Structure formats: structure tokens, C-alpha cells
Amino acid sequence: MIQDGRRVQVIERDLNMPNRIVGEVLLPGGYIKLIELGLEDCVDEIDAQQFLGYSLYKDGKETPISYPMEKFQSHISGRTSHNGRFVQRLRKKAASLHNVTLEQGTVTSLIEENGIVKGVHYKNESGQVLTAYAPLTIVCDGCFSNLRRSLCYPKSDEVKFTTEIRCMVNVPSEKVPSVSNGDMACYLKTLVAPKVFPEVYNSFISAIEKKGNIRIMPTKIMAAAPHLTPGALLIGDALNMRHPITGGGMTVALSDVVILRDLLRPLHDLFDAFTISKYLESFYTLRKPMSSTINILANVLQKVFSASSNPAMENMQHLSRVFETWRGLFIWNISNAIWFMPSSIKHSISFLFHCNIWYRPIVTSISFSQTLVGWG
């Protein structure tokens, strides 16, 4: 919208550099979307690192998991970076455009008249209550959205994890050990550290012992369930979340932005709220092939690779490693490869085909069919 010459007001809760999660993962497909948006320089000068795949460690054995990048130029790859630095680069890029107003403030509510969203009420830095009007209000206030309930039917499951630099540890418990009294450090040293591969064991222990290094962050798994609201559109984590195991969140977000940009580009008048709302209904359909693939993949892999005494889960983990070794193509590659296909729908079907053939004998143990239905 900004690059198409529209005037845009951006209201951010906090314009300081975010320091909530240290790591940010951008899948190769997400980097391609960044290029499509003309924002590829936003990963420059922030110590972003190229990455070409993953490694799976289990029982002292390592299985490399590479992205299928042979047909692409050398600069096309995944990127890992400091989340806050990446966000600041995006903000700087937006603020450099003359038709953008970037302001720090907390949006308290939507302005609604006769069922149409006309804008927002917000408090600025000094606490003054202000209003901002626009023909289209795009809500993307994250996983802790306070505006979500008026724009969708939220039903989320919460997963808790701790992060330290680029190490994420699942804590599969309703009661997470306390950081302040040392229980979390003890948990990580006694239960997690023995499972860490030798190359990083000492660094892992050292990081645990460094005061203030352990952080706890809840994340939510939430299917996209919007209801059409004339004058407003919900996107980002406020709309749809998946488990962070694949690092697919930013890739989904950038893909959504590209889809929305392409839908809005031919429109010259956004003031007919009901017509625009009906037109933008297609956004939620167009995003499904890619977003559902990454959502399903993330949520299933979280179940498959979580520690479990269930023999079926052990078999599933072993099968995943055999699949990679034998075929040279691990299931994670499918979610990334969909970006490189002319039709993402085609590769979503390919994803289901691979899952059905290789995981069918024990797939019911993780309620896979429910996941397929639920994650759009």
C-alpha cells in the first residue's frame, strides 16, 4: 500500500527495538517474498546469517536436512537474525517514505459506526487519547492482540517454551518451572542438557548459568477464523499462529502481505466498505494453500519430535530419519519448496501425499486428520 502511493498511518505500541525473542528465522520462501516486496535490504547490516537447512540429532546420530536450493541463485537461502534488529530495519524503511506516518501509541479500541470500522482510538506517548480515521484499518497487533475478538473467532492452544539466544526448549507442562527461584535452570541442566549434542553442551551450560539469560515466552497455536468486518482486516499473529518449531511465522506473514498488496493494488477507492470487505474475503482463501501447509507441518512436527514414552511416537521419529536418509528429502523441505512452485496448491497436495504414504501406519496417534481440518 505504501509503495503504491497510498497514505498510511502506522501506530506501534512501542517503537524501541524489540528484545522479546532473540532469534528470527526467515525461510527461503520468506526471503523470496521479501524480495518481491522490495525489502531484501532489511536483512543487511543486522548480522543476519544465511542458512541452508537443519540437522536432526537423536541417540547420538545426526541427520542433515537441506533445503532443495539447487535451481536457485546462491543468494537465495534462509536467513536467521536478531528479531529486534530486523523489525527496526522494516520500521526505518517504512518511515523513510513520505506518505507514511509512524507513531508510537497504544490502540485501545476500534471505531465502529453501523457495523463499519472507521478507524481506531489510541493513546499516544503522553497518554493523550486520540482518534485516527481510515477507509481500511489493518489490524496486526500480534499474538497478544486486544482487538482480535471483534474481528475473528479466536480459539487458541497455548504452548510454553524458553529461549536463550538461538536455542528453543519445549517445556511440555502446564506448570512451567520458575526462573526466579532457580527451578528452570535446574530443569534445563538435569533434564535437557543430557540430550543436547556434545558440540554445544558446554555453551548450553554456560548460558544457563549466566544470570538473566533464561527467558520464558508463551506462544499460541490458533487457526485462522476471521469474520468479515467492513472497514477492517485482521492479519499476522493476531489472525493465525502455529508452533514455532519450523520458524515459519515470518514467512507466513510476508506471504500474507504480498497477497494483500496484490489485491489492493488495482483498487483506487477504499471508501465503499461493504464492497471492499466482500472483495477482500478472497484474501483468506488465497492464503490457505501456503499457510495451512506450514501450519500443519509445524504443529505435527511439534507433536512428533516432542519427548514421549509412546512407542508410536518413537516409531514416527525413527521413520522421519529413515525418510530423510533414503529419499534425501525430509518433510520440512516440502513446506519451503511450495514457494518455488508455480502452484502452491499443487505442492500442498504433494505435502499431503508424502504424509499419507510415509506416515499413514501410525499417523492416527497424533490426530493428524484433526490438524488437517483445523489449520487454514
DSSP class per residue in 23-55: EEEE-HHHHHHHHHTT-GGGGTTTT-EEE-EEE
pTM summary value: 0.72
What is the chain's mean pLDDT, rounded? 75
- Summarised one tens digit per residue, pLDDT across range 43-94 is 988 888 887 777 777 777 777 777 777 777 778 888 888 888 999 999 999 9
- Summarised one tens digit per residue, pLDDT across range 167-211 is 777 776 667 888 888 898 998 999 888 888 787 888 888 888 887
| Of the ranges 49-58, 78-87, 337-346, 362-371, the best mean pLDDT one | 78-87
- Summarised one tens digit per residue, pLDDT across range 276-311 is 999 999 998 898 888 888 888 777 777 776 666 677
In the predicted structure, residue 348 carries a pLDDT above the cut 70: no
Contact 178, 187 (CB under 8 A): no
Please name the CATH architecture into which domain 8-108+136-154+225-288 falls: 3-Layer(bba) Sandwich (3.50)
In the predicted structure, residue 256 carries a pLDDT above the cut 70: yes
Contact 137, 117 (CB under 8 A): yes
Q: Rounded mean pLDDT of 336-340?
A: 42
Give residues with Cβ within 8 angstroms of 178, minimum separation 6: 184
Res 358: pLDDT: 40
User: Domain residues of the chain, as ranges?
Assistant: 8-108+136-154+225-288, 156-220, 290-374
Q: Is the pLDDT higher at 348 or at 69?
A: 69
The residue with cell 506416515 is: 359
Q: Of 5, 6, 97, 30, which is closest to residue 258 (Cα–Cα)?
A: 30
**What is the spatial distance between Cα 347 and Cα 339, in angstroms, rounded to a whole number?**
9
